[in-house]
Amino acid sequence: MKKLIRFAIAGGIGFIVDAGALSALLALTPLGPFLARIIAIALAMAATWAFNRNFTFDRSGRSLTAEGFRYGSVGVTAALVNYGLYSALLLSLPALQPLAALVLASIAAMVFSFFGYSRFVFRPE
């Protein structure tokens, strides 16, 4: 249960980074909601990796490179789930605000990523 709470905290940090970056990019650049979201996801992924590695899960015993590759693999897959659902929501519901789509997509990706990180990335060898 302690890992799940810490994972939720990491997710909260990632969500704040994601939503903050998306909001800033939408307000300050001409990127639009799709390209801005890709950048925001990358920034959020970096923030959650640092927190998860140091506070949520025990280190796996693998090299930093191997662990980073595994984290990136799960993270990119979760990001694709997140971005795909985000895009589908915006395209199918044009009146939906980008931040509302972000919330819904992030919840779905969070479930996927918890199992991926706990079972594939940080599980001891």
What is d(CA 45, CA 57) in angstroms, rounded to the nearest whole number?
A: 16
Give me the pLDDT at residue 90, please: 95
Contact 40, 59 (CB under 8 A): no
pLDDT in tens, 6-53: 988 998 999 899 999 999 999 999 999 989 988 998 898 889 888 888
Contact 119, 71 (CB under 8 A): no
Can you spell out the DSSP letters for 47-88? Answer: HHHHHIIIIIS---SS-HHHHHHHHHHHHHHHHHHHHHHHHH
Half-sphere CA count of 117, side-chain side, radius 13 A:
30
pTM: 0.71
Contact 37, 89 (CB under 8 A): no
pLDDT in tens, 44-99: 888 988 888 888 887 777 887 888 788 889 988 998 998 899 999 999 999 999 98
pLDDT in tens, 91-123: 999 999 998 998 899 888 888 888 898 888 887
